Amino acid sequence: MTAHDPSSHSLQLTSSGQLKHFLTLDGLERALLTDILDTADSFIEVGERTIKKVPLLRGKTVVNLFFESSTRTRSTFELAAKRLSADVLNLDISTSATSKGESLSDTLLNLEAMASDMFVVRHSQSGAPHFIAESVTPGVAIINAGDGRHAHPTQAMLDMLTIRQHKGGFEGLKVAIVGDILHSRVARSQIRALNALGAEEVRVIAPGTLLPRDVESLGCTVEYDMIRGMRDLDVVIMLRLQKERMEGALLPSEREFYRLYGLSQDKLALARPDCLVMHPGPINRGVEIESAVADGPQSVILNQVTNGIAVRMAVMSMAMSGQVSERTQAVGEQG
């Protein structure tokens, strides 16, 4: 199964440019990404209320369809759906039973028979959410919660919201993404988002064995030396070493990786004094980042978690609204 990015623009958007699926950031304009951030901003105060609910998805059924385990992402999607007043069904499905397109189609047919309105899909194969969006009954929204090495668009957008809250915008910012770029769908989505939103420079800092061959084509500069790469940074995003995805000896040892690429207080001191420290989680302390930095005053890691709920509320409500408007338009044209 491969990612279907060339068609993702028309697949994701209604004829009037509204979001109806959220599969990738590829092809989405700055105005739409800003609209997602603005909508998420409006939902942040919902989490501060005594009753943390709005009725936007009342009567709708959201299915969290996770073919790959993730406690954090699934939990925030579940909370987001419930805060929008949706009914939520959580399904953890073994990848061995659904590794072929045919069995995935059968799964979809059964779920559609339950009158589901939205699938939040996480899958180990790149392109699975695109496949589902192309196959699903019209009117059902598909949200990508991470597919293979391809994309994790809601994670990137919650990171963008966190950056905007602390920096006010993206113009003039120098941002580095550090670590296991090769296996990271988050890094790919972050690079797309930062470029679309107008960051001055996006760097990736990693050993050559943890960089994809075409990484510069995504719109970033490459630095192999972290001491050089940390200079003048406004934001540094550390990535988890994804040992479960690694094949072969890509690293001499975790200790050596930490020595060269782990974020310590000494390395952070090379960046600008107000440089933000971010990590999509889960954190491997002493491997990617020193505890004193992860828990330090420049860390916004817990802000990222909080913002994840608001961003997912924004994406889910916008996609459902787009689906409704497209159905209404189709009915009008038939009439």
Is 322 marked as binding a ligand?
A: no
DSSP 137: P
Biggest distance spanned by C-alpha atoms of the chain: 68
Is 122 marked as binding a ligand?
A: yes
Cα(129)–Cα(20) distance, integer angstroms: 13
What are the tokens at 127?
A: 């392109």
Q: How many CB atoms lie within 10 A of CB 40?
A: 26
Is 164 marked as binding a ligand?
A: no
Is 129 marked as binding a ligand?
A: no
Is 329 marked as binding a ligand?
A: no
Is 198 marked as binding a ligand?
A: no
Is 213 marked as binding a ligand?
A: no
Cα(214)–Cα(210) distance, integer angstroms: 12
- Locate all alpha helices (DSSP H) within the chain, ordered by sequence: 8-12, 30-44, 71-83, 101-112, 128-135, 153-167, 185-196, 226-229, 254-261, 265-268, 291-294, 301-334
DSSP 270: T
Is 72 marked as binding a ligand?
A: yes
Is 185 marked as binding a ligand?
A: yes
Is 243 marked as binding a ligand?
A: no
Residue set of the binding site for carbamoyl phosphate: 72-73, 122, 152, 155, 281-282
Residue set of the binding site: 72-73, 100, 122, 152, 155, 185, 240, 281-282
Residue set of the binding site for L-aspartate: 100, 185, 240
